[in-house]
């Protein structure tokens, strides 16, 4: 079994500037990072040119594994096409390897036929755009009951059907995998793993939401260690990127120390 390669998503410490965030990764001995387009005053939203982001990453010896994310990707229309083009260009110019694709998550587009048709339409449109830029599309099913793409198996089928395995990969998010209740893991098709834990003993699985997502510790209810062990032993060799959304994590004065503890805990479990 290969050992786990950790990465950092900017959601670990969203109040940090990009420069501080990159420095924190370096301090943790991590060489892979994910930047986001949903953090106010940061990276993409504040108008930082892609070239500046690329130079910052190169200076720290970091690989930008993804931009997170094109939202509502499976609701394909002119607006989405424009957003996708901008993000793909930015990814290419900042040196990012991939663009995370997040499905509609508001209860719409869930009927089986519409769901499948929407997914194929979006992937078909994205495929030539991503290929022209040399960027991978990372499809991230969300385990919430209201989501229009809950299961990795549905995404895997569509990718297979479109003959698009060289363009698309799956994101295995340990939180969403647990919520979706899907057994299959698709290690060969997985391009990125997102890790976060839920330690609150009182919340039911159906009620788990992003604010419950903390750094993985001994109280973890999602079995991150088991999920990672299964993926690694099945041949997954990509990064496992910390993506906690809990305000308690975002408020930490010493995020580096907390991440170090979580890394040590996970490594010990594996």
Q: What is the pTM of this model?
A: 0.96
How far is C-alpha 94 from the geometric centre of its chain's CA atoms?
A: 18
Ramachandran angles phi, psi of 67, nearest 5°: -105, 130
Residue that the structure tokens 């663009």 belong to: 99
Overall average pLDDT of the 217-225 stretch: 97
Taking the C-alpha atoms of residue 12 and residue 29, their distance in angstroms, rounded to an integer, is: 15
Computed over its alpha carbons, how large is the radius of gyration of the chain? 17
Task: State the pairing for strand pair 239-242/5-9.
Answer: parallel
Q: Which of 230, 162, 145, 221 is nearest to 190 (CA)?
A: 230
Residue that the structure tokens 């990764």 belong to: 25
Domains of the chain (ranges; CATH) run 5-269 (3.20.20.150)
In angstroms, the Cα distances linking 105 to 20, 59, 93, 100, 268 are 31, 37, 29, 15, 35
- Cite the beta strand spans of 96-155 per DSSP E: 98-101, 136-139
- Whole-number pLDDT of residue 142: 98
pLDDT surpassing 90 at residue 40: no
- pLDDT-above-90 percentage for the chain: 95
Taking the C-alpha atoms of residue 41 and residue 178, their distance in angstroms, rounded to an integer, is: 32
Taking the C-alpha atoms of residue 186 and residue 188, their distance in angstroms, rounded to an integer, is: 6
Q: Which of 166, 253, 232, 246 is nearest to 6 (CA)?
A: 232
- Model confidence at 1, pLDDT cuts 50, 70, 90, reads low
96-152 pLDDT per residue, tens:
999 999 999 999 999 999 999 999 999 999 999 999 999 999 999 999 999 999 999
The answer to whether residues 172 and 194 touch, using CB atoms and an 8 Å cutoff, is yes
- Whole-number pLDDT of residue 44: 77
Average pLDDT score over the chain: 96
- Whole-number pLDDT of residue 39: 85
- Whole-number pLDDT of residue 45: 72
pLDDT surpassing 90 at residue 218: yes
- Whole-number pLDDT of residue 254: 94
Q: Taking the chain, what is the end-to-end CA distance rounded to the nearest angstrom? A: 9
pLDDT surpassing 80 at residue 268: yes
- Model confidence at 46, pLDDT cuts 50, 70, 90, reads confident
pLDDT surpassing 70 at residue 267: yes
Overall average pLDDT of the 252-258 stretch: 95
């Amino acid at each position: 079994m290969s050992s786990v390669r950790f990465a950092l998503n900017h959601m670990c410490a969203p109040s940090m500037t990009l420069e501080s965030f990159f420095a924190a990764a370096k301090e943790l001995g991590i060489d892979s990072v994910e930047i986001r387009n949903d953090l106010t005053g940061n990276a993409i939203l504040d108008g930082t040119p892609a070239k500046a982001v690329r130079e910052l990453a190169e200076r720290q010896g970091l690989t930008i594994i993804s931009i997170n994310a094109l939202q509502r990707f499976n609701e394909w229309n002119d607006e989405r096409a424009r957003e996708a083009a901008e993000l793909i260009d930015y990814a290419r110019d900042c040196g990012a390897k991939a663009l995370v694709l997040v499905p509609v998550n508001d209860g719409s587009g869930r009927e089986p036929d519409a769901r499948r048709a929407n997914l194929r339409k979006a992937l078909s449109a994205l495929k030539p755009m991503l290929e022209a830029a040399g960027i991978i599309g990372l499809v991230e099913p969300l385990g919430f009951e209201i989501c229009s793409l809950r299961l990795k198996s549905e995404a895997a089928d569509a990718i297979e059907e479109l003959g698009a395995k060289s363009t698309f990969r799956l994101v295995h998010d340990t939180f969403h995998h647990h919520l979706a209740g899907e057994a299959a893991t698709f290690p060969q098709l997985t391009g990125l793993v997102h890790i976060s834990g839920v330690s609150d003993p009182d919340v039911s699985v159906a009620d788990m939401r992003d604010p419950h997502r903390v750094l993985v510790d001994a109280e973890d209810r999602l079995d991150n260690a088991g999920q990672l062990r299964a993926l690694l032993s099945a041949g997954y060799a990509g990064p496992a990127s910390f993506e906690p959304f809990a305000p308690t994590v975002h408020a930490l004065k010493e995020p580096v120390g907390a991440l170090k503890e979580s890394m040590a805990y996970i490594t010990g479990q594996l």
